[in-house]
Amino acid sequence: MSHFPNTRRVRSIACLCAGLLSWQFAAARGLEVVVDGAGDAAVVVALYAADGAALGVAARDRTTHVVDQVNKRFVPALTAITVGDAVSFPNSDDIRHHVYSFSPAKTFELPLYHGVPTAPVDFDVAGKVVLGCNIHDSMAATIYVLDTAVHTLTIDGIARFPDLAAGDYRVVIHHPRQVNDDGARRFAVHVDADAPARLDIGISLASPPAPELSALEARFKALRDEP
Amino acid sequence: MRGRSLNTKIVTLLIAALGACQVVTLVAVLVATHRSVRADLERELQTADTAFAQLFEQRYLQQLESVDVLAADFGFKRAAASGDAPTIASALGNHAARAEAALAVLVDPAGAVIAASGADPALFDSPGWQGLVQNAREHDIDARTLAVGGRAYQLVAVPVQAPQRIAWLVMGFHVDDALARRFRDLTGREISFVSGGEVPAVVGSTLPPAARGDLPATLVTAPVDGTRALYLDGDDWLTRVRPLDARDGAVIAVLQESLSRALAPYHELSLRLALLFVVALGAASAAGIAVTRGITRPLRSLMNAAARIGEGHYGTPIAVEADDEVGRLAATLDSMQSEIGERENRIIHQAHHDELTGLPNRRLAVERLHGAIARAAGRPFTVAQIDLARFKHINDTFGHHVGDVVLEETARRLVGALRPGDTVARLGGDDFFVILEDCVLEAGLAVIESLRTILGQAVSLDGMQVSPDFRIGIATCPEHGDDPAALMRRAEIALYDAKDSHRRTVVYASGRDDDHLRQLAIVSDLPGALERGEVSLHYQPKISFVDGRAHHAEALVRWTHPEFGFMPPDEFIQVLEESGNIGLLTEWVITTAIAQIRAWADDGLDIGVGINLSAMDLLDLELPERLVAHVEAAGLRRRQLILEITESAVMRDPQTAVDVLGRLREAGFRLAIDDFGTGYSSLAQLKRLPVDELKIDKSFVLNLREDGDDATIVRSTIDLAHSMGLAVTAEGVETAACYALLQSYGCDVAQGYLIARPLPAADLEAWLRAMNARGGAFLVRAA
C-alpha cells in the first residue's frame, strides 16, 4: 500500500493545483477540455492540428516513462507517451513477471525478470499497445503511443492546454474501454487569441471487466442457464 | 368302468384345476415380470438419461477447460497474434491434436474466421456456427453440438486473451460411434446420436447395424416424448430422446435399451417356472392317481362285493384293509351281507313254510312231491289231503285262537305219527297234505286209519275239549297221476267226494276227475257257446183248460256241446249256479226269449213265454229294472212274460226272494212258483209270496191216478191255490187220462208231452199254426 497512495487524495490535490493554474492563466489564450462520462477513470486527451498534423513532435527530447509492476498490477494501467519515447518496466514485486505485447504498434517481450530491466523499451510507432504478463493473465495495461506531443492524461475529467496559439485544433480522446470502434474519438475546437476556449465532451465507457474472470465452469453454467 | 371313470374324473379335475392355476400364475408372473421389467427399465433409462445429460455437460466442461488451457498457451497466443494464417493454422492443427479434437478454428473478435484446421468449410455457413460465434461474443464462451456433412461435432469456443481478447479458439470433437460407445460404457445403455433436419441421420450409435438403420425413419414416424418403445429390426427398444443442445436441437441423443435383452434373464426364469409347473403337474397327477387309486381300488372291491351280494352270494367276507370311510363302508357292507343272507334264508323258509305250524306250505309240498315222484321212479306211493271237518264251526264257536291251537296240535300229531322221511304240509286253511313214500294204497290206507285215530283224540284247551274230525281224500302214484298237480287235484277231488258223500275217507275214483273237468268246461265254455249258437231255447207250450188255447210256452235251455254233445240242463245250470255264472245265461235267455216273443208277435202269433229264474237271479237287485227295459225296448206287454222260480230257490233265502218277487210283480210281470211241492214251503210262506201261479211239480202229475196219493195232493194243492187266488199249472201231463183228471180237479193250465215236447222256435210256430188251423184249441186225443 505504501507504493499506492490514496487516489482520491491525490486527485483532490491535483484539482486544487489545476484550479490555481486555471485562475492564473485565465486571461491568457488556452484550451480547457472537460470530459464527462469517464467517472474516476483516467482518460487520454490528445491535441492535434485541425488537419490532424502532430504538434510539437519534432522539437522535443526523448522521454523515458515508467510502467511499474506492483502487487501483480501494472502501475499505471493507462499511459500516454509520444512516439519515440521509451518506457521502463521495473518490477517492484518479489515475483518474476513476463511482460509482453502482441499489439502491432509494439510487439515485445521481457522474459521473466526481477528488478529493473537493463534497457527501457522504445516505442517508435504510434498506436495502442496492450501489455500483459504471460505468468499472470489478470495483469493488463495500455500504453497509447501518440503521434503528437501535446497530450495529457486527466484523472479529474479536465484537461488544460494553456498557451495555445489561436486557431483550430483537433481533440482526440483515448480510452481502452471507450465505446467505439478503435477506442478513439475526435472532436474539432477553435481557440481564440484573446480568450480561453473550453470544450465539453461526453464519452461513454464500457463497464470494466470483472477484476478476475470467473471460473470457466461458472461461465459455462451461466451459459447453460441462458434461455 | 365306473371306477376308472371316477379315477379319470378326479385326476382330470385335479390336473385341470392345477393346470389352470399354473397357467394363470405363469401368465400373471410373466405379465407382472414384463411390466416390472419394463417399469424398472424405464426408470433405469430415465436415470441413464439424466446421467448421460450430466456426463455430456461434463464433457463440454472438460473440453472447455482443455481448450481454455490451450488458448492460454503463450506460444499459441503469440502465433495467433502473428496474423500469419498458415502459422496460425498449423498451431491450430497442433493444438487440436493435443486436445484430441477433430477440428480447431480461430475466430477474430468480429466473428470472422482467421484460420481453421480440420474443419469442413460448409461448417461456417451453418446457422449453428453463426449461433456459436454470436453466443461466444456475447457470453465469452460457448459450447454446442452441430452436424454438418453427415458428421457431428461437439464444439467449444473460448476466448484468447493477450491479455485483451484477441480471438476465439473453437475446437470440435467428434460425436460418433466411439463417443456413443464411451457413453454406453458409462450409462450402460445403447446410445445413438442422430442429426436433425428433414432427413435424420445416425452419426454415431452403439445399436446393431440393422436397428441403427431403422432408427431415423422410426423416429420420424413415432416422435418420442418421455419414454416409449420403438420397434427396430424385430425388437422392442425402450427409448428416450434428448436434444444435445436445447437451443436448436440439431443433434439428439437417443438412449435405448432392448426390452428382449432386459427380459432375457426372465425368459430363462419363465422356462424354469414352466418346467417347474410341468414337474409339479406331473407330480400332482401321479399323486392324484395314487390317491384316487387308493380310493377307487377298495371301492372297486366293494363294488364287486355288492355285485356278488346282488347275485345272492353272501358267503365271501369283504376284505378291505382301511380304517377310513371306505373301511367302515366295507364293514357295513359285510354285516349287511350277512344280515341279508339271514333275511333271505328266513324269507325262503317263509316262502316254503306255513307260518302257524311251521310245516311246508303248498309250494314246498309240490316240490317235495316232484322229488317223491322222481325217487319213486314208477313204484307206487300214496298221498292224502286231510281236511279238518267243521273247522269254521270251531273257529266260530271257540274263536280263531282255538282254531289255531287245533291246527298246530294237528300238525304236531301228523309229524309225530309219520315216518321222518314222510312229508306233512299245510296247504292252507284247514287242509293238510301228506306224502307217504314207498307206500302202496293198502299200506297207505292202514297208515291213514292209524292217523285218524291219533288225530281224532280230543284237544284240551283251557279246560275245553275239542274233538276234531277229519275228511281224507287219497290218491296214489302212478295210478292216479304221475305229476304233482294231478295227484294233488285228485286227492282233493277224493276229499270233496268224501265231504259230499259224508264219508270219512275216500280213495280217488277213476273218472271223477273228468266230471270235475267237465264242470270246469261248462263254466269256461259258456260264453263262447252263447256266441257260437251252441245254446238255444226250446219252447214247450202250455194249454189253458178254460179255452184249450196256448197262451204261453215255457222257454227251456238246450246246449249241444261240441265235445260232450247234449248237455242236461239240470247239470250245467247247477254248475253255473254253484260257480256263480248263471247271470250270464239268464241274461241271454231273457233277451233271446223277448226277441222271440217280438218275432212271433210280428208274425201274428200272440203267445207269451215263461222264463226260469234261478235262486242266484233272485239275488240280482237290478234284475227288475233290466227286465222292464228289455220288454219296453221290444214293445211288449209285461204280462207276456212269466217269470218262473222254483220253490227250492225261493226257500233258499225267502226274505230276499219275497222282496225281489214283490218288485217284479209291481213292475207288472206275471210270476209263477215252479216245481211246487218239492221245496217244503209252508203255507205261511206261500201266503206271503207275491205270485200269480203255482206249477205243480211233474213228480206229482206223471203218475196221477184217480185213486192214488198224488191225486189227493194235486187236488188239494189246486184247491189251496185257488183259495189263495193263484192259478195252477200242472207239469208233466203226458196222458189224456191225466189231462182229464186235472181238468176235473179244476186245474187251470196243462204242460207236458201230451201237448207237446219242448220245440225249437220254428217248430213251435208250425205247431201253433197247425193248431190255429184246427180252430185254435187243443184237442185231447184219446189215449
Contact B78 A223 (CB under 8 A): no
B569 contacts B557 by C-beta, under 8 angstroms? yes
Number of neighbouring beta carbons within 10 Å of residue A60 = 11
In a domain, B567, yes or no: no
In a domain, B363, yes or no: yes
Task: Clarify whether residues B153 and B237 are in a common domain.
Answer: yes
Contact A223 B142 (CB under 8 A): yes
Predicted pLDDT at A10: 44
DSSP states along B634-653: HT--GGGEEEEEEHHHHHHS
In a domain, B532, yes or no: no
Report yes or no: B554 at the A interface, CB cutoff 8 Å. no
Task: Clarify whether residues B243 and B374 are in a common domain.
Answer: no
Predicted pLDDT at B247: 66
Predicted pLDDT at B651: 81
| Chain B residues within an 8 Å CB radius of A102 | 77-78, 81, 162, 166
Residue of A nearest to B79 (CA): A102
Task: Clarify whether residues B598 and B708 are in a common domain.
Answer: yes
Task: Clarify whether residues B255 and B357 are in a common domain.
Answer: no
Residues 27-86 of B with CB under 8 A from A: 57, 60-61, 64-65, 68, 72, 74, 77-78, 81
Contact A222 B139 (CB under 8 A): yes
C-alpha cell at B105: 478454428
Strand B165-175 versus strand A151-154 pairing type: unpaired
Contact B163 A133 (CB under 8 A): yes
Contact B166 A102 (CB under 8 A): yes
In a domain, B472, yes or no: yes
Number of domains observed in the structure of chain B? 3
Task: Clarify whether residues B544 and B471 are in a common domain.
Answer: no
Task: Clarify whether residues B101 and B245 are in a common domain.
Answer: yes
Residues spanned by the domain of B160: 37-260
Strand B464-466 versus strand B459-461 pairing type: antiparallel
Contact A132 B161 (CB under 8 A): yes
Strands across the sheet with A127-133, in order?
A78-82, A140-146, A127-133, A97-103, A106-113
Cβ partners under 8 Å of residue B14, min gap 6: B284, B285, B288
Report yes or no: A222 at the B interface, CB cutoff 8 Å. yes
Domain-terminating residue out of B260, B290, B320 = B260
CA distance B382 to B372: 10
Which residue from B520, B385, B373, B511 is spatially nearest to B448, judged by alpha carbons?
B385
| pTM for this prediction | 0.49
Q: Which domains can be identified in chain A, with CATH numbers? A: 37-153+166-192+204-216 (2.60.40.420)
Predicted pLDDT at A51: 87
Q: What is the mean pLDDT of each run of 10 residues along chain B (783 residues)?
A: 64 84 85 86 89 89 89 86 86 89 92 90 87 87 86 91 88 92 90 82 90 85 77 87 74 88 82 87 84 78 84 79 79 86 87 88 90 88 90 86 89 89 88 90 89 87 83 89 88 88 86 79 87 92 90 92 86 84 90 93 91 86 88 90 86 82 89 83 79 90 84 90 92 90 92 92 91 81 53
DSSP states along B457-508: SPEEETTEEE--EEEEEEEEETTT-SSHHHHHHHHHHHHHHHHHTT-SEEEP
In a domain, B323, yes or no: no
In a domain, B312, yes or no: no
B235 contacts B211 by C-beta, under 8 angstroms? yes
C-alpha cell at B304: 364287486
Residue of A nearest to B74 (CA): A134
Report yes or no: A78 at the B interface, CB cutoff 8 Å. no
Predicted pLDDT at A112: 83
Report yes or no: A214 at the B interface, CB cutoff 8 Å. no
Q: What phi and psi values does residue B750 have, to the nearest 5 degrees? A: -120, 145
Q: How far is CA B411 from CA B101, B278, B404, B454, in A?
A: 140, 80, 10, 11
Interface confidence, given as ipTM, is 0.73
Which residues on adjacent β-strands are paired with residue A31? A161, A197
- Given 3-state DSSP classes, what are the helix, strand and coil percentages for chain B, each rounded to the nearest 5? 55, 20, 25
Contact A132 B64 (CB under 8 A): no
Ranges of chain A with pLDDT below 50: 1-27
DSSP states along B651-702: HHSHHHHHHHHHHHHHTT-EEEEEEETSS---HHHHHH---SEEEE-HHHHT
CA distance B219 to B222: 5
Domain-terminating residue out of B227, B260, B293 = B260
Task: Clarify whether residues B648 and B727 are in a common domain.
Answer: yes
CA distance A62 to A81: 10
In a domain, B574, yes or no: no
Contact B139 A134 (CB under 8 A): no
Task: Clarify whether residues B740 and B693 are in a common domain.
Answer: yes
The three-class DSSP label of residue B513 is helix
The three-class DSSP label of residue A139 is coil
In a domain, B220, yes or no: yes
Number of neighbouring beta carbons within 10 Å of residue A82 = 23
Distance (Å) from the C-alpha of residue B252 to the closest C-alpha of chain A? 17
DSSP states along B239-284: EEEEES-TTT--EEEEEEEEHHHHHHHHHHHHHHHHHHHHHHHHHH
Residue of A nearest to B110 (CA): A181
Predicted pLDDT at A22: 45
Q: Which of B68, B69, B74, B135 to mutate to test the interface with A (most CBs of A within 10 A)?
A: B74
- Given 3-state DSSP classes, what are the helix, strand and coil percentages for chain A, each rounded to the nearest 5? 10, 45, 45
Predicted pLDDT at B525: 87
CA distance A113 to A142: 20
**Residue in this structure with the C-alpha cell 185257488, named with its chain if needed:** B722
A91 contacts A115 by C-beta, under 8 angstroms? yes
Q: What is the CATH number of the domain that holds B205?
A: 3.30.450.20
Task: Clarify whether residues B488 and B545 are in a common domain.
Answer: no
Task: Clarify whether residues B174 and B225 are in a common domain.
Answer: yes
Domain-terminating residue out of B234, B260, B286 = B260
Q: What is the CATH number of the domain that holds B434?
A: 3.30.70.270
Task: Clarify whether residues B195 and B100 are in a common domain.
Answer: yes
CA distance B540 to B758: 4
Residue of B nearest to A108 (CA): B78
Distance (Å) from the C-alpha of residue A139 to the closest C-alpha of chain B? 8
